[in-house]
Amino acid sequence: MAINNDRDVDSKEDLLAFAISNFTKFGSKRFSMDELAQSIGISKKTIYKYFDSKEELVTESLQYLLKNVRNAIENYVRENPNEEEPLQTIVFIYKLALTNLQAINPSFFYGLNKYYPKASKAYADFRADIIWNVVFPLLEKAQKMGQIRPNVNVELTCKVFLSRMEDTVYAKTNLFEEYSVQELLDHIVVNNLLGILTLEYLQDCKLDK
């Protein structure tokens, strides 16, 4: 989400966009309200006109970002109504997730977990919602359509390699510093999906990357 820090803040939504851009770049704890006000060119008093605390701002700005992600998923589903390819939607969702994670400093999540429990819970709830209310039903659908082998436990599949992607890409070293989004998508998601497909579907599989 590219933000132009030279423009004026005309609304609360503008402020949320500026805030999440800076929090994800510099860290939710490290980037202060004073720095945010200075970078936007407004007084800190103006920020507190909209938000009672920094935690409220961090939480609402994160929810603003997550809403944009959710809208992107819904737009993709609406524009690609092919019900025969539920796995394509899963690949899109995780490519979108990786693209967003690539732009986020790992210290952002560290700050959420340690200092901003409401924001951390909002992120955890969003992640769980996407996995269990969007991805999991798509896997079940693919299995019923004969695309995934009947002996595959799709619930376990979600738990093993489709949950908590940020823990994978930020483990020990930031994998984004070594690999592209496409490489990570292939090895974390696509290759694992290919491994659970039926032979019949695999022969004609056009799983876009």
State the CATH number of the domain containing residue 165.
1.10.357.10
Tell me the residue range of the domain where 133 lies: 12-203
Residue 170 lies in a domain: yes
Residue 5 lies in a domain: no
pLDDT tens-digit series, residues 48-95: 989 999 999 999 999 999 999 999 999 999 998 777 899 999 999 999
Residue 78 lies in a domain: yes
Residue 134 lies in a domain: yes
pLDDT tens-digit series, residues 9-51: 668 899 999 999 999 999 999 999 999 999 888 889 989 989 9
Residue 119 lies in a domain: yes
pLDDT of residue 7: 43
Distance CA 120, CA 132 (A): 18
pLDDT tens-digit series, residues 114-125: 999 999 999 999
pTM, to two decimals: 0.88
> What residues does 148 pair with on adjacent strands?
197
Find the helix packing angle between 54-79 and 106-115, rounded to 10°: 130
Evaluated on CA atoms 86, 87, 88, 93, the torsion sign reads: positive
Residue 91 lies in a domain: yes
| 50-57: long-range contacts, CB 8 A cutoff, minimum separation 24 | 50/12, 50/15, 55/115, 55/116, 55/118, 55/119, 56/118, 57/16, 57/19, 57/33
Q: Look at the chain and report how many structural domains it folds into.
A: 1
The answer to whether 177 touches 170, Cβ cutoff 8 Å, is: no
